[in-house]
Amino acid sequence: MKIGFIGLGIMGKPMAKNILKSGIGELYVNTRNQKVVEELVAAGAKYATYQELGETCDVILTMLPNSPQVKSVMLGENGVAANMKAGSVFIDMSSINPVASKEIAAALAEKDIEMLDAPVSGGEPKAIDGTLSFMVGGKQEVFDTYKPLLETMGASVVRCGEIGAGNTTKLANQIIVACNIQALAEALTLAQKAGVDPELVFQAIKGGLAGSTVMNAKAPMMVSGNDKPGFKIDLHIKDLNNALDCAHTVGAPVPMTAQVQEVMQWLHNHDGGQKDHSAIAQYYEYLTGIQIGR
């Protein structure tokens, strides 16, 4: 199998490395960062232009910021799709609006190119250790064929329905994650203001009903003041914008999503956009004048 991979950022680079480690096929890469390209080539990948990717690869993977970038890379002038063979497959692992996924799939179908939308959850740590969760939309037979490829990067690969279902599921995931982080920040702020050590609160409740993967990952970051991004606030803002757009389109009420989006937007406007989304805690630190755990 010849695999093309476009977008080697915080998530994409370790995902591509895990494909290489698996030996499932030949990997061809393309990204703007030349140093990352050199790193992947040193690990066994080959560099290819968009034209070469389209002409050479059986399947193209993308891990890009948002809908406009995916559309540009695939469907724009000199885009990859212009050179793809009939019967080849495009798997978009970016988190984008499901409406855009359907539009891209429809355009590719005219060229007899199949598509899966397959966004991921787990952040940089799970991208590195190959235990991401994939939420996939598309035809069952295409999913069955390429599930082993996705399993080189993830521990969970679930088909959620037809095209767009993967990104709809990812939007639901991002709502839950954001609201969990905000609730955690509020709770730890309450603990500290009441004179109880936030670290001990975390240790006491993490094994109960309130416990979660989000809590286990983000509470230690809040307590230590570590805002090094595993998933940036600006990217979560993008996801929640897509969630709000989708919700407004289908008529779903999302008041909690709107509230946490406002908190993230405040952080963006105060130089926090490139911080980890656990930096939601810093909004509460600004309001209260205390620093959680310190």
Does the global pTM surpass 0.95? Answer: no
pLDDT in tens, 148-199: 999 999 999 999 999 999 999 999 999 999 999 999 999 999 999 999 999 9
Distance CA 249, CA 226 (A): 37
pLDDT in tens, 247-259: 999 999 999 999 9
- Token pair, residue 182, equals 């905000």
Per-residue pLDDT for 294 more than 90? no
Q: Which fold has domain 168-288?
A: N-(1-d-carboxylethyl)-l-norvaline Dehydrogenase; domain 2 (1.10.1040)
Nearest to 40 by CA among 69, 15, 73, 66: 15
Distance CA 253, CA 28 (A): 43
Other C-beta atoms lying within 10 Å of the C-beta of residue 248: 10
pLDDT, position 262: 98
3-state SS record for 203-264: HHHCCCCCCCHHHHHHHHHHHHCCCCCCCEHHHHHHHHHHHHHHHHHHCCCCHHHHHHHHHH
Does 2-162 match 168-288 in CATH topology?
A: no
Q: Which CATH class is domain 2-162?
A: alpha beta
Average pLDDT of the residues in 227-247: 93
Report the mean per-residue pLDDT for the chain.
96
What positions carry a catalytic annotation?
Answer: 170
pLDDT in tens, 216-225: 999 999 999 9
Domain boundaries, the chain: 2-162, 168-288
pLDDT, position 123: 86
Average pLDDT of the residues in 53-57: 97
